[in-house]
Structure 1
Amino acid sequence: MEQFFHELNQNYIDKEASLQWLKNDKFPFDEERLIIAAQDQGLFTNGFKKIAGLQKTDQCRFYHSPVESPSHLMSGCKILLPNGHYTARHNKVCRYLHWKICEEMQVDMFPDVRRPESPPITSNGNVTVFYDKDIQASRYIKDKAIKPDIVI
Structure 2
Amino acid sequence: MLDRKTRKIMTISHALHPRSDVDRLYLPRSSGGRGMLQVHQTVEEEKRGLEEYIKDSEEDALQMVNNAKLFNTNETKQAYKKEQVKNRSEKWRNKPLHGQYLHIVSGKSDITKTWQWLKNGNLNEETEGLILAAQEEALRTNAIRAKVEKSTINSKCRLCKEADEKVNHLISCCKKIAQTDYKQRHDKVAGMIHWNICKKYKLPVAKHWWDHKIEKVVENEDVKILWDFRLQSDKHLPHNTPDITVVEKKEKQVKIIDIAIPGDSRTEEKDIEKITKYKDLQIEIERLWQKKTQIIPVVIGALGAVPKDLEEHFNTIGATEITISQLQKAALLGTAYILQRYL
- Decide which structure has greater helix share: 2
Q: TM-score if structure 1 supplies the norm length?
A: 0.77
How far, CA to CA, are the matches of 2:234 and 2:173 in structure 1?
Answer: 31
Between 1 and 2, higher relative CO (CA 8 Å, sep ≥ 6) is seen in 2
Task: Find the counterpart in structure 2 of residue 8 from structure 1.
Answer: 105
Letter matched to residue 159 of structure 2: F
State the TM-score, normalizing by the size of structure 2: 0.38
What SS does structure 1 have at the residue aligned with 2:170? helix
Q: Which residue does the alignment assign to 1:109?
A: 204
CA distance in 2, matches of 1:44, 1:101: 40
TM-aligned CA deviation for residue 18 of structure 1: 2.2
Summarize deviations over 1:105-152 as a string: whole Å, max 9, x none: 2331322433464122334534433221111234443xx321111123
Instruction: Choose from 239, 243, 250 the match for 1:145.
Output: 239
Flag the 1:5–1:125 CA change in 2: closer, same or farther, 3 A.
farther
User: Larger Rg: 1 or 2?
Assistant: 2
Distance 1:77 1:26 in 2: 27
Residue 98 of structure 1 pairs with residue 194 of structure 2: yes
How far is 1:16 from its partner? 2.6
Separation in 2, partners of 1:125, 1:6: 49
Give the conservation status (yes or no) of the 8 Å contact 1:98–1:150: yes
Deviations 1:13-50 (A, max 9, x none): 33332221111113233311221233455432101111
Partner of 2:164: 67
Q: Which 4+ runs in 1 deviate beyond 6 A?
A: none
Classify 1:63/1:34 alpha carbon distance in 2 versus 1 (closer, same or farther; 3 Å): same
Unaligned residue ranges in structure 1 (runs of 5+): none
Q: How many corresponding residue pairs?
A: 147
Is the CA contact 2:198–2:205 (under 8 Å) kept in the aligned structure 1? Answer: no
Distance apart, 1:70 and its partner CA: 1.7
Paired with 1:140 and 1:40, the residues of 2 have a C-alpha distance of 44
Q: Percent identity?
A: 28
